[in-house]
Amino acid sequence: MAERRPDRPVPPMAGTAAIGAVVHLPATAIAERRDLSSMSGTLAAAYRLLPA
C-alpha cells in the first residue's frame, strides 16, 4: 500500500465510502447466510483504507 502523500490528500468522501464498504460487506454476507469468518482479511484491508 502506498504511503500517504501531503501533495495528494485523501478526498473527504473516501472515509465515507470506506465506512460504507465495511458496513455493507458483513451485511451482505449475513443476508446471503455466508460464514463471516472468511471475511476477516477483506474487512482488515478495508479498515486500513480509512483515513486517519
- Long-range CB contacts for residues 2-11, cutoff 8 Å, separation at least 24: 4/52, 10/51
Q: 21-43, pLDDT tens digit by residue?
A: 778 888 888 899 988 887 778 77
Residue 50 has pLDDT above 50, yes or no: yes
Q: What is the DSSP letter of 50?
A: S
Residue 4 grid coordinates: 500517504
Q: Scanning the structure block, which residue is given the C-alpha cell 465510502?
A: 17
Q: What is the pLDDT of residue 29?
A: 86
Residues with Cβ within 8 Å of 43's Cβ and at least 6 positions away in sequence, in order, are 22, 25, 26
Closest to 28 measured CA to CA, from 40, 44, 39: 39
